[in-house]
């Protein structure tokens, strides 16, 4: 059996060639040549000689030569005087350093510029050759090796860790949460559980903000783990998000309820003939939370702006013409507050109480379904429960290193 042949690998040596520019500006020629190659570091400009030095394979050098012949002609010089506008975004340089760089030449060329600090962008309006020259100079200086005074300082960030925890009964009181820090008047919301006969109670209360100090967080994590093991608490969700200084992180905790929608049919005399049932439009209720940090890296503090929105189904409303048909009634509450915390502190948002009464029917098969006498063989158990939802937010400053 003959072995398959392997084609030899041919390495084409690179060559270096000089290209003299006659009419267009050397800067414009440089940008044109750099667009033809992958490794732009191998293309350099010798301004005083109006010459471009290129190192590449022979076919690429040939392409560069042909491209420059098409672009470098007498009439092209007029095109270079055309006024254009170009935006340049920097990575390392501050905009003040860029402004110092471009201002003298733009003043001489009667050009202008504008700065956009949010996007770290400078927009230059000037003759094409001036824009090309400034673009090259900015890109040459916009490197990690730029002087420290000219560099953009690192934007501080925080990591926000959230936990939505459901506590059974009053177990949350053992978590050493300081609820006296801040209180916001509002309502406590109740929940509806599909498929059960549930009586809910809405009580006037307050949505409270509390704290767990950073030094006590290790106790909090350990205690929470114990409560989860003992089925006294449950973490419903625990998303994380990083946010830069002044940037908003959004957390959504949502639940979708499905319910049966009844459609009654009546005869000509107005008597009910039959009813059809279909799934109604799913109802999504959610607890959403916007968190916007303002970071003080020197004091290791964070001013946090909180904007929670709480939705819930508070009851089911009867239709006027057909009381047995009920539709969900959704409440919505929202607030905005601002507070200052230390790096690593945990914010607790509480006051989301649930009280429900469940009735479950147990019966003896067949006998429990006998008309009139079936109640003798049925038993109704009523159980009451109380749970509390608490949102925990731990904010940690991320080191820029």
Q: Residue 107 — very low, low, confident or very high, per pLDDT cuts 50/70/90?
A: confident
pLDDT at 191: 30
Q: Residue 136 — very low, low, confident or very high, per pLDDT cuts 50/70/90?
A: confident
Mean pLDDT, residues 93-106: 86
| Residues 217, 394 contacting (CB under 8 angstroms) | yes
Task: Report the half-sphere exposure of 1 (CA within 13 A, side-chain side).
Answer: 2
pLDDT at 356: 58
Q: What pTM was computed for the model?
A: 0.51
Q: Residue 291 — very low, low, confident or very high, per pLDDT cuts 50/70/90?
A: very high
pLDDT in tens, 152-201: 566 788 999 999 888 887 777 777 777 776 544 333 333 322 223 333 33
* pLDDT beyond 60 at 235: yes
Q: Residue 292 — very low, low, confident or very high, per pLDDT cuts 50/70/90?
A: very high
* pLDDT beyond 80 at 203: no
* pLDDT beyond 80 at 144: no
pLDDT at 161: 92
For residues 149 and 172, which has the higher predicted lDDT (pLDDT)? Answer: 172
Neighbour-count burial of 181, counting CB atoms closer than 10 A to its CB (0-12 exposed, 13-18 middle, 19+ buried): middle
State phi, psi for 133 to the nearest 5 degrees: -65, -45
Domains in the chain, start-ordered, CATH in brackets?
A: 15-150 (3.30.1370.120), 157-398 (no CATH)
* DSSP SS3 for 9: coil
| Residues 343, 395 contacting (CB under 8 angstroms) | yes
For residues 183 and 46, which has the higher predicted lDDT (pLDDT)? Answer: 46
Residue 336 gets the label, from left (phi > 0), alpha (psi -120 to 50) or beta, of beta
For residues 301 and 175, which has the higher predicted lDDT (pLDDT)? Answer: 301
**Strands ordered across the beta sheet of 15-20:** 15-20, 51-56, 43-46
- The separation between the first and the last C-alpha atoms of the chain, rounded to the nearest angstrom, is 60
Buried b (16+ CB within 10 A) or exposed e, 257-289: bebeeeeeeeeeeeeeeeeeeeeeeebebebeb
**What span, in angstroms and rounded, lies between the C-alpha atoms of 130 and 125?**
9
Neighbour-count burial of 341, counting CB atoms closer than 10 A to its CB (0-12 exposed, 13-18 middle, 19+ buried): buried
């Amino acid at each position: 059996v003959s072995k398959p042949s392997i084609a030899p690998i041919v390495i084409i040596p690179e060559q270096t060639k000089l290209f003299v520019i006659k009419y267009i500006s050397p800067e414009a020629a440089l940008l044109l040549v750099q667009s033809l190659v992958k490794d732009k570091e191998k293309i350099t400009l010798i301004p005083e000689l109006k010459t471009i030095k290129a190192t590449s394979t022979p076919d690429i050098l040939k392409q560069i030569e042909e491209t420059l012949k098409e672009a470098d002609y007498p009439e092209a010089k007029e095109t270079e005087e055309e006024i254009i506008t170009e935006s340049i975004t920097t990575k390392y340089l501050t905009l003040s350093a860029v402004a110092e760089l471009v201002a003298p030449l733009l003043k001489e060329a009667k050009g202008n510029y504008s700065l956009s600090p949010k996007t770290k962008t400078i927009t230059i309006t000037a003759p094409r050759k001036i824009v090309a020259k400034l673009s090259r100079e900015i890109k040459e200086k916009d490197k990690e090796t730029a002087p420290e005074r000219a560099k953009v300082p690192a934007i501080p960030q925080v990591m926000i860790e959230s936990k939505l925890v459901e506590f059974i009964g009053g177990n949350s009181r053992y978590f050493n949460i300081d609820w006296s820090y801040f209180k916001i008047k509002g309502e406590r919301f109740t929940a509806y559980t599909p498929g059960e006969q549930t009586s809910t109670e809405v009580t006037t209360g307050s949505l409270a903000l509390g704290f767990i100090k950073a030094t006590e967080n290790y106790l909090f994590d350990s205690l929470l783990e114990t409560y989860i093991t003992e089925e006294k608490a449950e973490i419903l969700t625990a998303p994380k998000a990083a946010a830069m200084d002044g940037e908003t992180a959004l957390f959504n905790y949502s639940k979708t309820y499905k319910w049966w929608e009844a459609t009654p049919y009546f005869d000509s005399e107005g008597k009910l003939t039959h009813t059809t049932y279909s799934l109604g439009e799913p109802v999504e209720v959610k607890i959403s939370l916007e968190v916007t940090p303002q970071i003080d890296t020197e004091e290791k503090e964070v001013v946090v702006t909180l904007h929670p929105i709480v939705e819930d189904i508070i009851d089911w409303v009867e239709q006027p013409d057909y009381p047995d048909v009920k539709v969900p009634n959704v409440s919505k509450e929202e607030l905005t507050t601002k507070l200052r915390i230390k790096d690593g502190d945990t914010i607790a948002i509480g006051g989301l109480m649930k009280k429900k009464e469940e009735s479950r029917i147990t019966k003896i098969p067949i006998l429990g379904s006998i008309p009139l006498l079936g109640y003798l063989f049925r038993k109704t158990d009523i159980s009451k429960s109380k749970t509390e939802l608490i949102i925990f937010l731990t904010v940690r400053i991320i080191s820029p290193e």
